[in-house]
């Protein structure tokens, strides 16, 4: 046995009951804090009582959302909880890595669907089915979801596109108050009850931004325009115009303050939905300008006056019934507001036109008082239904995106809740039929399909009983005989319908159905249908007429004569348009009854739902009085029973209710076991893995490949489990079950959690590995770049140095030239400094000497004796100036070229040589202390001389003679 419900083998009934009682006591009396249980699958045992107690505990702790496996249970708080729906919270759920780990919320469902669309795993389109009884909070929930998508599915790309997206979202949100004003009404169960069903398709583009929306409506309860149950009200819009119109508008629309209208019951009740300004504002945003709005409200005022036309019974059948005295004003006003001639309007209501015979001769038959009332009501219903449809089309044209601008959608289905009144008719039958269909979708999609799949896949599964409503659906819509088919047949038979006859037909033809009942004590003809949400008794009186919904053709023709611009648009005089109002015999098309039209639209809706991944939100009404903090167990219990929540939890808890968010499992298998991506694909909604090419399916080969793969994972599990236990990731250290079917892998939520942990670890390792590799690569790259930078720097430096040296050379040349000039000048100056007398003689001597070979020889002889010569030259006595010079010249071996290349200075007043100077020998060299390379830290070799040349002082009196160069350090 693979699964056991609540952990027990179904043994004997008594024993099982005993176990259950013990479990129940243990659970309820135990330490478990019920309000902390976010998921009802953790309730143990799963019974109505435990589920109820858990929901109650959470409700009293102001926790309104609870997971129940695949379903979200939403309890109506009946009080404002603004912090629960703030944009910040929406963003928090949107940004959360795993929104499922946050507290259960309608935003979790919203985010999950949004991520599913993003993941692009088939089926990409999503739908959210919001169900529950009237007043449970379906419309509120849908509104919340729309606001959520308006916040999260916006375009952050550019300011302009953001503005466009904002405008679209605003329009989509503005459609709510308009549709609620025209389609909602205050009923006994809900002050703002939707009197129509709607499917809102939120259209997303490739970037998953909301680009538009489309609204599909179902079965507006148009009878409410002319007939309201006691303590109920007409559609909100009538009260809005009566309460919110300005003085001018009141005059125009003939709505004086405090005026009584028979179709406006309970006007004294003030609701927050009566806000006329909100509706007008929203209409304006949707592109309905003020003149058109005024036209609409004028027509609605006309309908209110039409309702005040009461007829007096005619004593003569041949004479038409006349309106009562006080109704004449109403006839006049209604006619003027509807743009119709007063007499024609009255005549059309009073007199029926009959066509008979082959020539289609026209006969006029005055109607009885009741029929006059019916025709009047029919006129009002016809106008209101057309107006509502027109409004929906205007809304759609305002919010709908071009077909090529959106690729995916999220559908929100908000249909009227299950209804059961003391007096139920065709409207309730249709509403409850729709609810049965949706329940069937849930049962088929989730409860039955999942269990059947386990069987097909070869898993051992102990089937859980659930309430399958298929027999009920068979009773209502089945083929060949069902309630719908019988009612339709009555319509086609074109005979006076009898309520008793219809009851008998239904009872006889459908006697075998387990869902058909009959209250023998009831005197009124009726039948009982045992719906999944409980038995409902439907009265057969008027059922066939309502199903026919006959619209006398003369009424349509009347409205085609209207001079009112709005009615002219609603009732065009288009001969091509063939409606069901055409007299029988002129059209061969089968008569479209209300039931057949509704059935067709439901089928269409179900087709859409089947093509999407469904998500379910069950709204629960904690009490029928609409009071906060009041949890009435009995009322909630009946709702839990009705929606089969306990069965859902059973299957979710015991089964494999994985709802993965993306291709994580494939990735995990790929990482852990090396499976290629192509070989597996994930089937969303069920959370099952299957092979990607079912056409090439070969069970044996597949099993052969899949089985070891799964075994590998199962072997990895203990490791994962231990790691999870160490890190405290998962509370349960026991390996969770995972099973391999023929073509799919099945696993539970805890298993999913475990695998998620393993995947996170593997991904972390991979990330580290990638990071290491990347760092190494980056380091190498940086080194390469560093070297290149050095090279470039060196090249630039050497270029700069070359440039600098060239500049220095140029400068040196300039300096050299200047120096040479200066030296010559200095030499001249130096020469002038010397003793002038001897100079004159002496200056010629070298020239003569230089030319005389004798002198040359003499000099060569003396040259070796220069030290002695110097001494002689230095003696003050006995040696003349010229001789002294000669001796010095000879001793020092001074060059013989230019006579100005040396000077011998003598003192005038003193004997002897004062100084001997020579002009610089050789070239001037500049040495710098620092390298001209800009950044190089290189010092030149220290040089003993900074500058050579200039004056060589060979002999200086009063000092020692240095035959070395004087240092001119300052010139460096
Ligand atoms: N989450 C919520 N927070 C606060 N109030 C809520 C919430 N949900 C519902 N309500 C209250 O309950 C009322 C009924 O809710 P709503 O109109 O959504 O019910 P419904 O299921 O759509 O009913 P119907 O089928 O008749 O249209 C709302 O007008 C609102 O006052």
- Together in a domain, 745 and 857: no
Structure tokens at 796: 């630039």
| Catalytic option among 76, 190, 686, 965 | 190
Ligand 1 geometric centre to CA of 194 (Å): 10
| Catalytic option among 132, 212, 302, 417 | 417
Ligand 1 contact, 201 CB (< 6 A)? no
Ligand 1 contact, 140 CB (< 6 A)? yes
Q: What letters, b where the CB count within 10 A reaches 16 and e where it falls short, cover 879-903?
A: bebeebbbbbbbbbebeeeebeebb
Does pTM surpass 0.90?
Answer: no
Ligand 1 contact, 837 CB (< 6 A)? no
Q: Whose CA is nearest to atom 5 of ligand 1?
A: 78
What Å distances lie between residue 941 and 153, 808, 935, 948, 972, CA to CA? Answer: 76, 18, 18, 16, 15
Ligand 1 geometric centre to CA of 232 (Å): 17
User: Which domain-ending residue is among 772, 794, 813?
Assistant: 772
Q: Residues 338, 299: contact at Cβ < 8 Å?
A: yes
Long-range contacts of 161-164 (CB under 8 A, 24+ apart): none
| Whether 419 is catalytic | yes
Ligand 1 contact, 451 CB (< 6 A)? no
Looking from the CA of residue 74, the nearest atom of ligand 1 is: 1
Q: Residues 250, 298: contact at Cβ < 8 Å?
A: no
Ligand 1 contact, 271 CB (< 6 A)? no
User: Which domain-ending residue is among 772, 791, 816?
Assistant: 772
Candidate of 83, 128, 145, 192 to mutate for ligand 1, largest count of ligand atoms within 8 Å of Cβ = 192
Pairing verdict, β 613-620 and 126-131: parallel
* Residue 600 is assigned to a structural domain of this protein: no
| Whether 972 is catalytic | no
Ligand 1 geometric centre to CA of 79 (Å): 10
| Whether 851 is catalytic | no
Candidate of 132, 135, 428 to mutate for ligand 1, largest count of ligand atoms within 8 Å of Cβ = 135
Ligand 1 geometric centre to CA of 171 (Å): 22
Ligand 1 contact, 197 CB (< 6 A)? no
- Together in a domain, 854 and 949: yes
What Å distances lie between residue 796 and 791, 802, 803, 933, 940, CA to CA? Answer: 9, 10, 10, 10, 21
Ligand 1 contact, 193 CB (< 6 A)? yes
Looking from the CA of residue 143, the nearest atom of ligand 1 is: 18
| Catalytic option among 193, 205, 336, 743 | 193
Rounded Cα gap, residues 408 and 418, in angstroms? 30
- Together in a domain, 860 and 959: yes
The candidate with the shortest Cα–Cα distance to 433, out of 249, 218, 619, 638, is 218
Looking from the CA of residue 137, the nearest atom of ligand 1 is: 18
* Residue 691 is assigned to a structural domain of this protein: yes
Instruction: Please count the other Cβ atoms lying within 10 Å of the Cβ belonging to residue 233.
Output: 24
* Residue 938 is assigned to a structural domain of this protein: yes
Pairing verdict, β 197-204 and 210-218: antiparallel
> Residue 444 gets which letter from DSSP?
I
Rounded Cα gap, residues 841 and 836, in angstroms? 9
Candidate of 190, 197, 438 to mutate for ligand 1, largest count of ligand atoms within 8 Å of Cβ = 190
Q: Whose CA is nearest to atom 15 of ligand 1?
A: 137
The number of CA neighbours under 13 Å toward the Cβ of 372 is 26
Residue 641: predicted pLDDT:
83
- Together in a domain, 845 and 950: yes
* Residue 768 is assigned to a structural domain of this protein: yes
89: buried, middle or exposed (CB in 10 Å: 19+, 13-18, 0-12)?
A: middle
Query: How many contiguous H segments (helices) and E segments (strands) does the chain have?
Result: 31, 23
- Total domains in the chain come to 2
Ligand 1 geometric centre to CA of 137 (Å): 3
ipTM (interface pTM)? 0.99
Q: Residues 526, 503: contact at Cβ < 8 Å?
A: yes
Ligand 1 contact, 624 CB (< 6 A)? no
* Residue 590 is assigned to a structural domain of this protein: no
Rounded Cα gap, residues 800 and 792, in angstroms? 12
* Residue 726 is assigned to a structural domain of this protein: yes
Instruction: Please count the other Cβ atoms lying within 10 Å of the Cβ belonging to residue 840.
Output: 9
What are the residues facing 201 on neighbouring strands?
A: 214, 411
* Residue 222 is assigned to a structural domain of this protein: no
Ligand 1 contact, 139 CB (< 6 A)? yes
943: buried, middle or exposed (CB in 10 Å: 19+, 13-18, 0-12)?
A: middle
What Å distances lie between residue 452 and 44, 150, 648, CA to CA? Answer: 25, 38, 15
| Catalytic option among 67, 134, 485, 748 | 134
Residue 412: predicted pLDDT:
94
Rounded Cα gap, residues 930 and 947, in angstroms? 16
| Catalytic option among 67, 71, 139, 730 | 139
Ligand 1 geometric centre to CA of 177 (Å): 14
The candidate with the shortest Cα–Cα distance to 691, out of 681, 676, 705, is 681
Ligand 1 geometric centre to CA of 714 (Å): 47
Q: Whose CA is nearest to atom 29 of ligand 1?
A: 192
Residue 740: predicted pLDDT:
67
Ligand 1 contact, 488 CB (< 6 A)? no
Rounded Cα gap, residues 509 and 523, in angstroms? 21
Ligand 1 geometric centre to CA of 303 (Å): 29
| Whether 696 is catalytic | no
Looking from the CA of residue 132, the nearest atom of ligand 1 is: 21
Ligand 1 geometric centre to CA of 600 (Å): 28
Q: Whose CA is nearest to atom 6 of ligand 1?
A: 78
Q: Residues 395, 286: contact at Cβ < 8 Å?
A: yes
Q: Residues 498, 524: contact at Cβ < 8 Å?
A: no
Looking from the CA of residue 64, the nearest atom of ligand 1 is: 1
Candidate of 62, 80, 140 to mutate for ligand 1, largest count of ligand atoms within 8 Å of Cβ = 140
Ligand 1 geometric centre to CA of 266 (Å): 21
Ligand 1 contact, 416 CB (< 6 A)? yes
pLDDT along the chain (972 residues), means of 10: 37 62 65 79 84 92 91 95 93 90 94 89 89 90 91 71 75 91 92 91 88 90 91 94 94 92 90 90 94 96 95 83 90 95 93 80 87 93 96 93 90 86 89 89 77 74 73 91 92 81 91 86 87 89 88 91 94 63 48 88 91 93 92 92 81 58 49 43 43 40 53 59 46 51 66 70 88 96 96 95 93 90 82 54 45 59 55 55 60 48 47 54 49 48 44 51 38 32
| Whether 190 is catalytic | yes
Q: Whose CA is nearest to atom 25 of ligand 1?
A: 134
Ligand 1 contact, 135 CB (< 6 A)? yes
Ligand 1 contact, 157 CB (< 6 A)? no
Ligand 1 contact, 622 CB (< 6 A)? no
Q: What is the residue range of 765's domain? A: 664-772
Ligand 1 contact, 138 CB (< 6 A)? yes
> Residue 272 gets which letter from DSSP?
G
- Together in a domain, 838 and 765: no
Q: Whose CA is nearest to atom 11 of ligand 1?
A: 78
- Together in a domain, 877 and 951: yes
User: Which domain-ending residue is among 727, 753, 772?
Assistant: 772
Looking from the CA of residue 190, the nearest atom of ligand 1 is: 26
Q: Residues 70, 657: contact at Cβ < 8 Å?
A: yes
* Residue 952 is assigned to a structural domain of this protein: yes
| Catalytic option among 47, 155, 194, 497 | 194
Ligand 1 contact, 78 CB (< 6 A)? yes
| Whether 111 is catalytic | no
Ligand 1 contact, 190 CB (< 6 A)? yes
Candidate of 73, 76, 414, 624 to mutate for ligand 1, largest count of ligand atoms within 8 Å of Cβ = 76
Candidate of 58, 106, 109, 139 to mutate for ligand 1, largest count of ligand atoms within 8 Å of Cβ = 139
Looking from the CA of residue 187, the nearest atom of ligand 1 is: 26
């Amino acid at each position: 046995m693979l699964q056991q419900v609540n952990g027990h083998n179904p043994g004997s009934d008594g024993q099982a009951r005993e176990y259950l009682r013990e479990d129940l006591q243990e659970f309820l009396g135990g330490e478990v804090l019920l309000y902390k249980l976010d998921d009802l699958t953790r309730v143990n045992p799963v019974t109505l009582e435990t589920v109820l107690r858990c929901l109650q505990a959470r409700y009293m702790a102001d926790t309104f959302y609870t997971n129940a496996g695949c379903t979200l249970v939403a309890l109506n708080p009946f009080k404002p909880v603004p912090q629960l729906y703030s944009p910040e919270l929406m963003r928090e759920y949107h940004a959360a890595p795993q929104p499922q780990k946050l507290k259960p919320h309608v935003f979790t469902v919203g985010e999950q669907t949004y991520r599913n669309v993003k993941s692009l795993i088939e089926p990409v389109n999503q739908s959210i089915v919001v169900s529950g009884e009237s007043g449970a909070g379906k419309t509120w929930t849908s509104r919340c979801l729309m606001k959520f998508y308006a916040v999260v599915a916006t375009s952050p790309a550019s300011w302009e596109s953001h503005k466009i997206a904002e405008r679209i979202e605003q329009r989509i949100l503005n459609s709510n108050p308009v549709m609620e004003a025209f389609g909602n009404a205050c009923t006994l169960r809900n002050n703002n009850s939707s009197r129509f069903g709607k499917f809102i398709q939120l259209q997303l583009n490739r970037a998953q931004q909301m680009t538009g929306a489309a609204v599909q409506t179902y079965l507006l309860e148009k009878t409410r325009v002319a007939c309201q149950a006691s303590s109920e009200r007409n559609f909100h819009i009538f009260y809005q115009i009566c309460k919110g119109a300005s003085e001018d508008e009141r005059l125009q629309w003939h709505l004086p303050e405090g005026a009584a209208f028979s179709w406006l019951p309970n006007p004294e009740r003030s609701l927050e939905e009566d806000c006329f300004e909100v509706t007008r504002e929203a209409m304006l945003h949707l592109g309905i300008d003020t003149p058109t709005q005024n036209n609409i409200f004028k027509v609605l005022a006309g309908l209110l006056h039409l309702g005040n036309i009461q007829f007096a019974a005619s004593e003569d059948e041949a004479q038409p019934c006349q309106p009562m005295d006080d109704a004449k004003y109403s006839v006049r006003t209604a006619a003027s507001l509807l743009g119709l001639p007063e007499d024609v309007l009255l005549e059309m209501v009073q007199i029926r036109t009959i066509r008979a015979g082959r020539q289609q001769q026209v006969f006029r038959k005055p109607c009885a008082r009741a029929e006059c009332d019916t025709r009047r009501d029919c006129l009002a219903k016809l106008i209101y239904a057309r107006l509502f449809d027109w409004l929906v089309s205007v809304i759609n044209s305002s919010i709908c995106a071009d077909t090529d601008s959106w690729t995916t959608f999220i559908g929100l289905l908000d249909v009227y809740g299950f209804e059961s009144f003391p007096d139920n008719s065709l409207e309730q039958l249709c509403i409850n039929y729709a609810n049965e269909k949706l329940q069937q979708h849930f049962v088929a999609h989730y409860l039955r399909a999942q269990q059947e799949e386990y069987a097909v896949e070869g898993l051992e599964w102990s089937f859980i009983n659930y309430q399958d409503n298929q027999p009920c659906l068979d009773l209502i819509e089945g083929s060949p005989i069902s309630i719908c088919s019988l009612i339709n047949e009555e319509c086609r038979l074109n005979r006076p319908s009898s309520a008793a006859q219809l009851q008998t037909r239904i009872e006889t033809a459908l006697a075998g159905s387990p869902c058909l009942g009959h209250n023998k004590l009831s005197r009124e003809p009726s039948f009982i249908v045992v719906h999944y949400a409980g038995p409902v008794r439907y009265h057969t009186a008027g059922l066939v007429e309502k199903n026919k919904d006959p619209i006398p053709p003369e009424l349509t023709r009347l409205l085609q004569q209207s001079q009112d611009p709005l009615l002219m648009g609603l009732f065009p005089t288009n001969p091509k348009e063939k409606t069901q109002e055409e007299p029988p015999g002129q059209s061969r098309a089968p008569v479209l009854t209300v039931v057949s039209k509704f059935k067709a639209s439901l089928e269409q809706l179900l087709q859409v739902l089947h093509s999407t991944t469904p998500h379910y939100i069950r709204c629960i009404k904690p009490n029928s009085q609409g009071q906060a903090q009041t949890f009435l167990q009995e009322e909630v219990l009946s709702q839990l029973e009705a929606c089969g929540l306990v069965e859902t939890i059973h299957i979710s808890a015991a089964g494999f209710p994985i709802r993965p968010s993306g291709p994580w499992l494939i990735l995990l298998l790929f990482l852990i076991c090396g499976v290629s991506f192509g070989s597996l694909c994930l089937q969303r909604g069920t959370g099952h893995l299957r092979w990607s090419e079912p056409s090439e399916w070969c069970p044996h080969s597949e099993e052969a490949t899949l089985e070891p793969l799964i075994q590998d994972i199962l072997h990895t599990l203990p490791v994962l489990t231990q790691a999870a236990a160490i890190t405290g990731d998962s509370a349960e250290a026991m390996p969770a079950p995972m099973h391999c079917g023929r073509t799919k892998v099945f696993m539970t939520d805890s298993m999913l959690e475990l695998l998620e942990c393993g995947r996170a670890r593997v991904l972390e390792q991979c990330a580290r590995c990638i990071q290491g590799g990347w760092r190494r690569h980056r380091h190498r790259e940086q080194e390469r770049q560093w070297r290149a930078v050095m090279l470039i720097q060196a090249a630039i430096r050497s270029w700069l140095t070359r440039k600098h040296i060239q500049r220095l050379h140029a400068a040196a040349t300039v300096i050299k030239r200047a120096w040479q000039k200066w030296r010559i000048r200095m030499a001249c100056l130096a020469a002038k400094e010397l003793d002038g007398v001897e100079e004159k003689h002496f200056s010629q001597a070298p020239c003569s000497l230089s030319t005389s070979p004798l002198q040359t020889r003499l000099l060569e002889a003396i040259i070796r004796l220069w030290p002695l010569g110097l001494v002689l030259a230095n003696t003050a006595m006995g040696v003349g100036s010229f001789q002294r010079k000669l001796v010095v010249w000879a001793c020092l071996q001074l060059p013989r070229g230019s006579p100005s290349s040396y000077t011998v200075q003598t003192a005038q007043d003193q004997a002897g040589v004062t100084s001997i100077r020579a002009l610089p020998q050789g070239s001037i060299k500049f040495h710098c202390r620092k390298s001209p390379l800009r950044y190089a830290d290189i010092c030149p070799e220290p040089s003993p001389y900074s500058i050579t040349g200039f004056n060589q002082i060979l002999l200086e009196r009063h000092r020692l003679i240095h035959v070395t160069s004087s240092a001119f350090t300052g010139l460096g």
